[in-house]
Structure 1
Amino acid sequence: MYLFGGNGHCKVVVDIIKKSNEYPIEGIFDDNPKFNAIFDIPVFKTKTLDFFIDKQLIISIGNNEIRKKISKKIPALYVKAIHPNAIVSYDVKINEGTVIMAGAILNASVYIGKHCIVNTGAVIDHDCSINDFVHISPNASLAGNVVVGEGTQIGIGASVIQGIKIGKWVTVGAGTVIIDDVPDFAVIVGNPGKIIKYNSIENE
């Protein structure tokens, strides 16, 4: 398999794959490589996206918008990576391209979309639905029956009470406490969370 994107987030993805022993990583590609190798894996400059056709791939880039754009351009066989120290209920649905990091907890009947990141120590409780290209940051906690729209970033240490619906391409600030539904594109911070502005998203 291969990784696309060769910066800090990539290092964590490499660690997950190495510890799970599921796929040997043949190489990492980047449009503007900063390193010749990450750990013992060579980093190559991207020449043509056709190279990835019918190859196993994870987009190892933290930015949600960029992951979406690249996934539309590269017709690869996207795989997922789950750290062996994550706790994942038997009936959780995790879609292609998604990465689940160390210490994450995904409880019963959780749905995770494509190309998501569930970061270190994040908690997603029962019956939550996480749509494509979402990033749940380290130590963020979602109570049961929360819905998170496409492309949203839940900031580090944020908390979301049960039954909340968060729109698409929302930014939830670090440590924010969400007690009400959040509309599309909102940037929300504080305890309780307050909308301070709205995102402008090129993907839309």
Structure 2
Amino acid sequence: MYLYGASGHSKVVIDILKAHAIEVKAVFDDAPSVTSIYDIPVLIPSNEDFKTQDSVIISIGDNAVRKKIAARLDMKFPNAIHPTAFVSEKTEIGPGTVIMPNAVVNAFASIGNHCIINSGAVIEHDCVLGNFVHVSPNAALAGGVILEEGCHVGIGASVVQGVRIGKWAIIGAGAVIINDVPDHAVVVGNPGKVKKYNTAF
């Protein structure tokens, strides 16, 4: 197993893999600021480092960067799910997704590729998460919420049932979302209101 991205996020992914007795052979990073994490070497990657039979988790919190790296790697992308997380057997999870300690993913939820479900987050029944989504610690999605590709739900935010959040939208920390959110919107407050639009994607 390899990781791509020597960030703080990688430390948590390593902990998850260690809990499953999975060895991380190396962490790759395009511009590393450290030489090792948990005594695992951090290396600048070259084309020779990656083979299609190898497995890698992209351990980068930024959704857009995670998408760019996934597009250029032809490898296996396993999931990493902490033993303390509850994930319903009726949940669908795409490759490369990481589910952190004490997260809850309930029945008939669908989670896309390379998502992050962070510590203590709650994904209720029948939610649908697109690819490259990040649900931050202690955020909660009620039943039937839809998160489109690349959106980020901030720490402690709450989303009521049946709401759709558009592509690459950002939900601020502690926000309460009671209405649909358009693509690229940045939403803050209780109730959540659009503050601006994110034009980076």
The reply to whether TM is greater than 0.5 is: yes
Distance 1:73 1:174 in 2: 31
Cα shift readout 1:139-171 (whole Å, capped 9, x = no counterpart): 000000000000000000000000111111000
Q: 1:4 to 1:52 in 2, by over 3 A?
A: farther
Matched, 1:4 2:8: no
Aligned to 1:170: 169
Distance 1:138 1:49 in 2: 36
Aligned to 1:158: 157
Normalised to the residue count of structure 1, the TM-score between the two structures is: 0.96
Task: Quote the offset at 1:20 in angstroms.
Answer: 2.0
- The residue identity in structure 1 corresponding to 2:12 is V
Matched, 1:94 2:100: no
Normalised to the residue count of structure 2, the TM-score between the two structures is: 0.97
CA contact (8 A) 1:49 1:74 kept: no
CA contact (8 A) 1:187 1:197 kept: yes
Task: Quote the offset at 1:49 in angstroms.
Answer: 6.8
Distance 1:164 1:29 in 2: 37
Map 1:1-204 onto structure 2 (within 5 A).
Answer: 1-21=1-21, 23-48=22-47, 51-202=50-201
**SS of alignment partner, residue 77 of structure 1:** coil
- The residue identity in structure 1 corresponding to 2:45 is T
- The residue identity in structure 2 corresponding to 1:173 is G
- The residue identity in structure 2 corresponding to 1:145 is G
| Runs of 4+ deviating beyond 6 Å | none
Distance 2:7 2:187 in 1: 28
CA contact (8 A) 1:159 1:176 kept: yes
Distance 2:200 2:32 in 1: 26
Distance 1:49 1:166 in 2: 40
- The residue identity in structure 1 corresponding to 2:181 is V
Distance 1:63 1:55 in 2: 23
- Give the aligned length: 201
Q: Which consecutive unaligned segments of at least 5 residues does structure 2 have?
A: none
Task: Quote the offset at 1:50 in angstroms.
Answer: 6.3
